[in-house]
Amino acid sequence: GAVPATARDYKARGLRWVVVGDENYGEGSSREHAAMEPRHLGCAAVLVRSFARIHETNLKKQGVLPLTFADPADYDKVREDDRVSIRGLASLAPGEPLQVELKHADGTADAFAVNHTFTAEQIGWFAAGSALNRIKAGV
């Protein structure tokens, strides 16, 4: 189905989901809303080859995990019906890669490294669910 309808269905069923995109993801005039809407609909992460700089920061502020493929060729491993797991979040640290595991519908699997650009402060935003949540908590 259409992305918004599918996202609403996943949210209603309590399922988190991941956006997979190509180059310069998030470029455009409504970047702030482009980060708010996925968060509102339950998006856990955005995994791309590259981000538009401001959009990546807006995702961080919204508590959505912006990730890039360590090897851009790994983009071709992702299938639309994959189950995605992101490993290493409990020890999320600046400059340390994470691991994505894909479980394909045919029973096969793939795994690869992904990068993030979080600073220590931004990791606090992520841990709180968003920058505003962090401010609200007075931390």
Helix then strand then coil, in percent of the chain rounded to 5, is 40, 25, 35
For 112, the domain range is 3-137
Q: How far apart are alpha carbons 64 and 70 in whole angstroms?
A: 19
Q: Could you give the C-alpha distances from 113 to 20, 34, 78, 110, in angstroms and in order?
A: 15, 25, 13, 11
**Domain CATH for 91:** 3.20.19.10
- Domains in the chain, number: 1
Q: With contact defined as beta carbons under 8 Å apart, do 61 and 35 qualify?
A: yes
Strand pairing report for 17-20 and 43-48: parallel
Model confidence pLDDT, tens digit, residues 1-54: 688 899 999 999 999 999 999 999 998 866 678 889 999 999 999 999 999 989
Model confidence pLDDT, tens digit, residues 77-94: 999 999 999 999 999 999
Predicted TM-score (pTM) of this structure: 0.92
